[in-house]
Each structure stands twice: as structure tokens, then as C-alpha cells.
Amino acid sequence: MLKSLFGKKESKVEVTSPITGKVLELAEVPDPVFSQKMMGDGVAFDPEDGEVVSPVDGEIVQVFPTKHAVGIKTKSGMEILIHIGLETVNLNGEGFESFVKAGDKVKRGDKLIEFDLNVVREKAASTITPMIITNTDDVVEIMEKNTGVPATKTETNVLTITLKK
């Protein structure tokens, strides 16, 4: 009731890099589903190694059966999808190992997935890994940071998201 009287407030969420590698604009992703922001807005990464960590504190909402993608929801309601490589669903889990399952609580920096970078290089369309905010209807503003530069997982802030509260 008080929210309806005083209006909604906004909350900010800092999102750190889930991967060590170069930060890319979504427009650079060679897949229109991501580059044209059909699933949402965000950034992508050109990974240097095969470890993906949580970019936020939250809850795992989904780990795809092929382990190539993971969904996380923050306490404030922001939903993030990390999609490792492009057309990696066709690998049927080859080269991927998940360390989480749906319902798990995670902290920023917790290991989510390991993947064999060489397998992805050889057998997938690309190693480029998009990180998408999938519920952009709940987002007031997405500020991109550090695109075009190297990022270190957990250490480099890559997005500041302002959410409707």
C-alpha cells in the first residue's frame, strides 16, 4: 500500500564480469538473436579461459541440460542469462561441467560452469559468450562499462543496472 502512495523506487545492481576476457558490445556478437537484442540487453565476452562465475549474488533459476547456459535471478528481481559460446547447444554437453543446479543460492564469484575452450573453438560457431539481462521490462537503465577492454572475472564491473523497484 505504501508503494502505491509514494511511487516505485529504483535500485541499482552492479554486475561484474563472469569471465576473464575481452568485453564486447552485443552488436559484435555474430548471432542476430544476441546482436539485435531479441532476448534482452547486456554485453558479451571473448573468453581467455573456460571458467564462468556468478556476476551477482542470486539464485540459479536454470541450468540448461547441455550445460552451455545458466540463468540467475538477483534478490532485486534482475534476471541474467549467460550463454557460453554460440551454437553450443549442439555439443550436447560435451566439454561442459556444471557446479550448480536450479534453486542453488550463489554469491558473486561462485563457480557456475567450467568448459573446455578448445572443444568450443573446434566444434561450435564461436566462443563469444553473451550475458543478457532478460527482463528488460523491469529495467530503467543499463549502463555499459569497459567494453573493448580486458575484464577479470569477479573484479571488473561491466554493467550497472537500474531496476524499477
Residues annotated as catalytic are 83
| Exposed / middle / buried, residue 54 (Cβ in 10 Å: 0-12, 13-18, 19+) | buried
How many Å from the N-terminal Cα to the C-terminal Cα in the chain? 14
In whole angstroms, what separates CA 100 from the centre of its chain?
A: 15
Distance CA 43, CA 29 (A): 9
Distance CA 144, CA 42 (A): 8
The answer to whether the beta carbons of residues 107 and 67 sit under 8 Å apart is: no
Nearest to 26, CA basis, from 160, 131, 121: 131
Q: How many helices (H) and strands (E) does the chain have?
A: 3, 14
Count CB-CB contacts under 10 A for residue 154: 17
